[in-house]
Amino acid sequence: MTKEKEVNTNERKEELTLQVNDVNNLMVGRKSEVKTFTTIEDPKMIFNLQNECDEKLNECVGEKLRIKDVLIKVIEKELDEPEVDSETGEIIRDKEYSKICILIDDAGKSYVTASKMFTNRMIQMIEMFGIPKIKEGIVIEITKVSVKNSPNKALSFDII
């Protein structure tokens, strides 16, 4: 009986053994590419912000925020089936893009949105004013604007 127990224990050990491979192997087979752009220098803060934020910007319409840091993620994902022009056979689109924008105010509170329009405007603001101006703090008011040829409104902001 003792030998049987030892054999079973050894079998269980083999089942629980974790094989460690090169970390680069984790990327194999991935159909998306993530690019991160940020004014934040602390890697721990960046990691934590990508997992949890304090507020959703959609719930902050009308509020004024003094922004001191920005994190923008652009996710490029291959489509399972590319969109093809039925007449020419030319591939029209083979990837889709999503964007996430995370803002940090001067009190350290974080705000997140997946609005492409908001993120594109934030990129324009950074290009226009530069990172030093963002780091010293810039006040924005969260708004919603009408979308061309649509009854919907999109998240946006005005610089105050």
pLDDT at residue 120 tops 90: yes
Question: Mean pLDDT throughout 70-75?
Answer: 94
Stated pTM of the model: 0.74
**Backbone dihedral region for residue 62 (phi beyond 0: left; psi -120 to 50: alpha; all else: beta):** left
Q: Looking at the domain assignment, is residue 128 inside a domain?
A: yes
> What local confidence, expressed as pLDDT, does residue 95 receive?
85
Q: Looking at the domain assignment, is residue 61 inside a domain?
A: yes
Count of alpha carbons within 13 angstroms of residue 40, beta-carbon side: 26
Q: Looking at the domain assignment, is residue 115 inside a domain?
A: yes
Q: Looking at the domain assignment, is residue 78 inside a domain?
A: yes
Containing structural domain, residue 87: 26-159
Element (DSSP H or E) covering residue 96: strand 91-105
Identify which of 125, 115, 6, 97 has the alpha carbon closest to the alpha carbon of residue 57: 115
Identify which of 15, 18, 129 has the alpha carbon closest to the alpha carbon of residue 67: 129
Q: Looking at the domain assignment, is residue 123 inside a domain?
A: yes
- In the chain, the number of structural domains is 1
Q: Looking at the domain assignment, is residue 20 inside a domain?
A: no
| Token pair of 71 as six digits | 């994190």
Q: Looking at the domain assignment, is residue 5 inside a domain?
A: no
Tens of pLDDT, residues 6-54: 444 444 444 444 444 455 555 555 577 888 999 999 999 999 998 899 9
CA distance 76 to 89: 23
CA distance 29 to 78: 11
Q: Looking at the domain assignment, is residue 19 inside a domain?
A: no
CA distance 160 to 146: 20
